[in-house]
Amino acid sequence: MPMLEVQDLKKYFDTPRGKLHAVDGISFCLEQGKTLGVVGESGCGKSTLGRTILHLTEPTGGKIFFGGEDVTSVDRARLKKLREDMQIIFQDPFSSLNPRMTVSEAVTDPLKLTNRYAKGEMEERVNSLMETVGLTERLRNSYPHELDGGRRQRVGIARSLALEPKFIVCDEPVSALDVSIQAQILNLLQDLQESKKLTYLFITHDLSVVRYISNDICVMYMGQMVEMSPSKELFQNPVHPYTKALLSAILVPDIHVKRERVLLKGEVSSPINPKPGCRFAARCPYACKQCEHGQKKVEISPGHFVACNVVTGAGAESL
């Protein structure tokens, strides 16, 4: 049984011009102790997907199963209990922390909400969490503005671990950090995953980062999944035209290696009241008439799913 199963998840937002389809029909399974990376350009719905799974925003449609239990629509009491098992690490380590709370207060705050810990137990727990994420005890009474970005993100990680969760949404946790600090935080997340058997949904726009940390990768475009595959398979054998374009943008640290860059042309269609059919068709060099009616998701190899008419053969004449 997977730790997390998402079936045809949708999240729409009302706007003056109509409904914005932020997440539209996403489905996947995530096993315990594994990491699913979610990549795509800004505005494709990556963060909304993570927040909807955690009920920070309520889904418009679809199903969410956590540990085999349907948690799509839960009451307030059950949602409070789920918060202990499902946590999030936010993108900006500065704005996600209360500037009036010290490090120890920020980490203690989730413990107070459970009403399960005595004062002495909470202090011991905070000391243990700070040691786990690599924060020295002298920083207990420091405020967020007194810390650098790496230490602030470690505070955010400690806070997310306070209630011993099973599943964590990592919403671009290293994008605001320097490269050297990024490596430290990524290694910390991997060590925590191994020691605590954590399950991650890792959201990022950095393909090098997602390749390093993920077991499987989901590529999103305008709220929809266009390709999902084991990490190694995706980089060795990208199939969807959008995935190929993304991977062609990765810099190679070798001046003797020439890589053909795939440049996408055409305008990005609007996510508000989108027309039926493939949303990438306006920018796809292989688009055919069949793409105007939609595309089917097919499994071309074990665990490798692609939503593209060219792959299924409907648009083979366009190749």
24 φ/ψ angles, rounded to the nearest 5 degrees: -140, 85
Percent of the chain with pLDDT over 70: 97
| C-alpha–C-alpha distance, residues 2 and 87, integer Å | 17
Angle at 45 between CA 39 and CA 50, to 5 degrees: 80
Look at residue 317 and tell me whether its pLDDT is greater than 50: no
Give the C-alpha separation, 157 to 136, whole Å: 14
CATH architecture of 4-237: 3-Layer(aba) Sandwich (3.40)
**Beta carbons of 173 and 167 less than 8 angstroms apart:** no
The answer to whether residue 124 scores a pLDDT higher than 90 is: yes
Q: What are 153-174's pLDDT values in tens digits?
A: 999 999 999 999 999 999 999 9
User: Distance (Å, rounded) from C-alpha 278 to C-alpha 25?
Assistant: 13
Mean pLDDT of the chain: 90
pLDDT given at position 281: 86
Q: Are 168 and 50 in contact (CB under 8 A)?
A: no
Residue 36: phi and psi, rounded to 5, are: -105, 115
Residue 194: exposure state from Cβ atoms within 10 A (0-12, 13-18, ≥19):
exposed
Residue type, 183: A
Residue 316 has pLDDT above 70, yes or no: no
For the chain, what percentages of helix, strand and coil (3-state, to nearest 5) are there? 35, 25, 40
Per-residue pLDDT reduced to its tens digit, 83-111: 899 999 998 888 999 999 999 999 999 99
Higher pLDDT residue, 289 or 13?
A: 13
pLDDT at 214 over 60: yes
Higher pLDDT, 135 or 319: 135
Question: Average pLDDT, stretch 46-61?
Answer: 95
Q: pLDDT by residue (tens digit) across 249-271?
A: 887 777 777 777 887 887 888 88
Task: Note the pLDDT of residue 60.
Answer: 95
Burial 85-103 (b: 16+ CB within 10 A, else e): bbbbbbbbbeebbeeeebb
